[in-house]
Structure formats: structure tokens, C-alpha cells
Structure 1
Amino acid sequence: MGRLRLQPLGEVCLGEACRSPDGILRGPEDDAELQLVLGKLREQDLAGGFTTAIRASIDYVLDGARTGRFNLLSTDVHPGERASVGAKLEYEAQRVFKWVKAKPLDIAIAGVPVDLKSTVGDNWAIPTEAHCHLCICTQMRLKDNVHKSWLIRTHTSWLYRGKGNKDGKRGIAVDARHQWGVPLYDWTPLPVNPLTLLTGNQKDQVFDPGRGQEVRLLRLFKYLPMTVIERSVVLTVCANRQDPMRRARAIKEEAAKQGILLLCGKWLSDRAVAKNHGYDLGPGDWVAIPNGSDQVEPPGEGVLF
């Protein structure tokens, strides 16, 4: 799709029901509603909140406890599933930020209607009802492991022409986003699944269907020392098996015999020891510390869930 020649600021928007006063195209600094919403948004940890919401969305789509999947870019994840992360994120963002759903769009901030849009691609599909409204647009670059959000008024004049997709949704012109989209935070790393840090051989051993849960979990902790292993990771390794968390707790003694201090966030005493080593464990988190080890860097970079 070629670049759209944009109407300059000060002209009348093509949208018949434009929310801008007198339908005039204005930059973000002169858009009173945008500035009001922006002020409210900046009271929150947007980068951290969206990271949490994205993590929950990816977990939901991968469904590791049932499928054993842990890499969104894997060939066993259908492109349609990958794209659905964006739709799920819109709901997760409302939950994380406690935004209340409100018509005519997704939410209202300071009394101003705001639509939430997310994509794992290069653009967002703006529905007819959101034309000329404020939108929070989030982009996830899966191959780069980063995400970023913008606040923009999606003027009809700044959307690609034509009928759009089969639902009448149209993308935002690239130049409009660059010139008049307000970044809400810088590019921020996406959450990493520790299972992607395993070598091919290690992964085969951790997911060996011929071995029991305890054997495979012990291998997991041996291969990923000094790395926080969350509950969802344990459930993925033991997909469709009975009571994997109990199995994980059962290997603490065997791990100790093999020179590994296995700490579980379920117990306050373990949390305290982990904290002394520089790890803040949640109730479902684990970390394996080889005996005699001080704080060391975890394995190299992985990829998102």
C-alpha cells in the first residue's frame, strides 16, 4: 500500500462526525481531549502494565498447560492464533489498568471515549465507529521482542482510503502515526519464556514423553540454574499431567543430593533465601541455585512466550 498524501493541519477533516471542534484537523498539542487523556495515562506505569497484559495474552493463546507450547513464533502456532494476541490484549489491558468498559468505544478516560487497538503486524484496523476518536494503539514486534503504544486521534483524513477490510476497518497512514501519534512509552522488551533458553538437546530431554514429570522437572532446573521459573513454565513442561506443582515440590530433596538448592516461592523461608541471592519469588515461582554459587547472570537471551 502506497503512502497516503495527508491533509495538512488546519483543514476540515473528511469525517462527517469528527469529534474535533468544527471538524478541524489539529496536532496533538492543540487537541484538548487528547491532552486530557494523555495526562491521565501518564499517571500510570504504562510500559509495565502493557508488558503484564501482553504476557497474559500470550499465555492465553499458547495455552501451554494443555498444548505444551511456549514459543509464539513456533511453527506449531497458527498465524491466526498469533494474530489473536492483539484482540486478547485489548481485554487484558482493561483488566490490568482497571479501565472501565464504556460505550461508544472500548473505554472512557476522563470522560473521553477511547478505543483500544493492538497488532502483531505493521498497522491497526480502525473500525468506522472509532474514526476521528482517540485510540491507544499498541504494536508488538515479535521478532524483535519489543512493544510500544501510541495515543492518536484517528481522523478519517488520516486513514487509508477505500472500503477497508470486509468489516470496513481501515489502517492508519504511516505518516500520520509518525507525525501526530504520541508515544506513551519507549520500545519495551517483551517477556521471555525460560524454555526458549534451552538448547535443542536440552529441550528434547525436558519434554521427553518417555520420562516422568519429576525426572523432566529436575532436568529443567539443572539446565536453567539461577533463572526464575514461573508456575506457567512448570505447567507447560508437564502439560496434561496430574498435579505438576506437587511433583516439582517432591524433587527438592533429590535436587539437593545433586548439589542444587531448589527454592519455591510457596514457602516464606525459601523466599527469604532467594532474596538473599537477588531473586524476588512470587508464590508460584522457583529458582535453582547450585551449591556454593553466588549471584550469576542467567542464560543468554531467549524469545517471547
Structure 2
Amino acid sequence: MQESLFGEAQEFFGRGTLGATPLAASDPALNNVIQEVVHKGRGALEQRFAAVFRASVDEILDGRRTMRFDFSEVSPVEKSYLGAKVEILARDEFDFGHGTSLDYLIGGHEVDAKFSATGDWMIAPKNVGEILLVMEASEETSLFSVGVVRADGVLLRPRETRDRKRSFSAAGKGAIHWLIRDAPYPRNQMMELYREAPEAIESIFSSSGSGQKRVDELFRALQGVHVNRTTVQTVAAQEDSSKRVRDARIALQGDGILILGYHRRHRAIASALGIEPITQGEWVAIRVYPAESDSAARQALIEGVAYRLAEYCDGPAPAPAIPNE
């Protein structure tokens, strides 16, 4: 089993797993599957599924190779693979077994994974009567749901598609035992940044030169923004985000810009200057200026010199060198 995806997503949440609906006593196998999924969540089911959905979409976007961040630019063929990606990452994250005839083996029972971006799952004839782990996630709303249901024929609409698949009726959707319902998962940061500052993002991507130059421009243009690893990889079109940030830190030092990360010393500086806490896999750029002896602004002592956040009217002053991460 690969390392959990939950590590970087845990800071996104302030609450734990949402409670499941009451179990149906008439279906012991279904109950067992529900209990086993909750157990495998280890008290963080919502957070860990959220990480699965964010990672799945990011892998389809593949920003470090394609520089894409808008899911609408993904081809229909790639979008069709999203369900398979969710299935694979969920199996790895929760250590679900491989089924013989269906996707998973959970609590000794065969379970099929069903993903939909719209909540309209299509049920093949082989799945009728089987236990399903139904999952829904939308990049438009950044909300997701996860539930368990047995796909009894009476819960499906009678109308079939050409390949004989059917969807759940209203009663069928009502029979789903929701483990998580309409919960947030981490947003696509590049899309958020583009909506808030389209000119800055367009300038970053249109800048000539290497991926390193684009990363330099990212931190120059978006000061005070907590930038995550996926965003750096997308802008750089390279995988080694930490090296790109280290090099940008050197390149921007002369402009008075510090790039702070998760290193203990960096977080202490951020706290002293009133910057929101930096979590693992994040960086934030700030411009600093030597603090005057009578300054009332918040200050951080860096290499024996007091610094404050720079103001618009402050002239050029190099940033101090601080230990790299």
C-alpha cells in the first residue's frame, strides 16, 4: 500500500467524518461493508476521501506535464478515465482488497466502485443485486459524497441504455447509506487564482523562458498567497517543486522577497509577521523591509535584524538569507 494521500489534506478540515445513516438490519453484508469502510477511515474518512478526489483530478490534469489547470480543457477520453483513477486511488488509500468479479473486497464481500461527477451512476446488468460504493465529486462546487447501497433491481429505473445500463430511481438514491454527504474537498488552487487574478496568471504562463522563470514570476506576482505543491508543479511543468522554490528564493532575494515554507524557522517568521499558518506542501512569498526602531508594525528577528512586512512606498532592500528547507 502506498503512502496515504491524507498527509497534505488534513489541514484543510476542521471536523472529522460525517456520521453514516442508520444501518439496515435486514442486510448484514451491506452493514458489514459500511462498518468496514468507516473502520478503514481510521477516524478521518472524510478527509482521506477528499484527498483521493483531489489527487485523482490532479493526476488527470497532469499539470506538471501539460501545464493544464482547467478541467474543462481535459478531453472526453481523459474525463472518462477519472472514475478508474478514483477507484485505484481509493483502493490504495484505504487498502481495499481486490475483488474476484467486482472492484473491491471489503469485509469479505465483493463491492463495485461507482463514480459520477453528477450523481447519476449507471448500473450494468452484472451489478444488479450487488453492493456498490458510490462516489460523486464535482470540480465546479468542490463538493463530494460517498455512500454504500445494494443495487436491487427495484431501486433502478426501468429504462435501459443501449448497453443495458440503468440508473437509480429517486427511491434508489434514497436507499443509499451516505457515509459522507456534500462535503468539501480541497479546491483546484490554480483555478481559484485564475478567477481572482486572471491577468497575473496569464502573465505567469506567457512569460518567456524556463519553468523556473515562471515559478519566479508566480511568487513575485502572488505575494501573501499560500501556494501549494501542485500549483508550483503546474507552473514549472516539472515535478521537483521544492528545488524550483529554493531557486526562486535565491532569485527573488534581491527584490526583498522571502519565500517561506513549512520549515520550523520559516513558520516562526510567518507567525511573528502575522502570516496565516503555513502547512506542509505550501509556500508563501512576502516582501520584507528592515524595521525602524520606532516602528509599531509586527516584526520578525532574522539573523539578528528586525524585519517587518514591506509597504508600497518602501524602496528596494534585499531580503535576508534564511536556512533553506
- Asked whether the 8 Å contact 1:83–1:120 carries over to 2, the reply is no
Q: 2:286 aligns with which of 285, 289, 293?
A: 289
Aligned residue for 2:254?
257
CA pair 269-63 structure 1, distance change in 2 beyond 3 A: same
Q: CA shift at 1:127, angstroms? A: 2.4
CA pair 83-120 structure 1, distance change in 2 beyond 3 A: farther
Q: CA shift at 1:278, angstroms? A: 4.6
CA RMSD in angstroms, aligned pairs only: 2.7
User: Among the aligned pairs, what percent are the same residue?
Assistant: 26
SS in 2 for 1:220: helix
Aligned residue for 1:114?
111
CA pair 121-261 structure 1, distance change in 2 beyond 3 A: same
Q: CA shift at 1:187, angstroms? A: 1.1
CA–CA distance in structure 1, aligned partners of residues 38 and 242 of structure 2: 39
Aligned residue for 1:217?
215
Aligned residue for 2:201?
203
CA–CA distance in structure 2, aligned partners of residues 242 and 169 of structure 1: 40
CA–CA distance in structure 2, aligned partners of residues 164 and 126 of structure 1: 10
CA pair 212-28 structure 1, distance change in 2 beyond 3 A: same
Q: CA shift at 1:84, angstroms? A: 2.5
Q: CA shift at 1:91, angstroms? A: 0.9
SS in 2 for 1:144: coil
CA–CA distance in structure 1, aligned partners of residues 161 and 122 of structure 2: 8
Aligned residue for 1:177?
173
Larger fraction in strand: 2
CA–CA distance in structure 1, aligned partners of residues 247 and 284 of structure 2: 15
Deviations 1:38-94 (A, max 9, x none): 222222222212111111211111111111101213xx2223423422221011110
The count of aligned residue pairs is 261
AA of the residue aligned to 1:227: V
Residues 121-200 of structure 1: pairs in structure 2 closer than 5 A: 121-166=118-163, 168-178=164-174, 180-196=175-191, 197-198=193-194, 199-200=197-198
TM-score (norm 1): 0.75
Query: Please, which runs of 5 or more residues in structure 1 have no aligned partner?
Result: 1-26, 294-305
AA of the residue aligned to 1:184: L
SS in 2 for 1:279: coil
CA pair 229-174 structure 1, distance change in 2 beyond 3 A: same
Aligned residue for 1:78?
75
CA pair 242-229 structure 1, distance change in 2 beyond 3 A: closer
CA–CA distance in structure 2, aligned partners of residues 133 and 242 of structure 1: 41
| Runs of 4+ displaced beyond 4 Å | 241-245, 271-278
Establish whether residue 234 from structure 1 lines up as the match of residue 229 from structure 2: no
AA of the residue aligned to 1:114: V
AA of the residue aligned to 1:64: G
Residues 269-280 of structure 1: pairs in structure 2 closer than 5 A: 269-270=265-266, 273=269, 277-280=275-278
SS in 2 for 1:30: coil
Aligned residue for 1:36?
32
CA–CA distance in structure 2, aligned partners of residues 90 and 121 of structure 1: 16
CA–CA distance in structure 2, aligned partners of residues 274 and 129 of structure 1: 56
Q: CA shift at 1:132, angstroms? A: 0.9
SS in 2 for 1:69: coil
- Asked whether the 8 Å contact 2:211–2:236 carries over to 1, the reply is yes
SS in 1 for 2:168: coil
Aligned residue for 1:62?
61
AA of the residue aligned to 1:116: A
CA–CA distance in structure 2, aligned partners of residues 193 and 275 of structure 1: 26
Q: CA shift at 1:220, angstroms? A: 1.2
TM-score (norm 2): 0.71
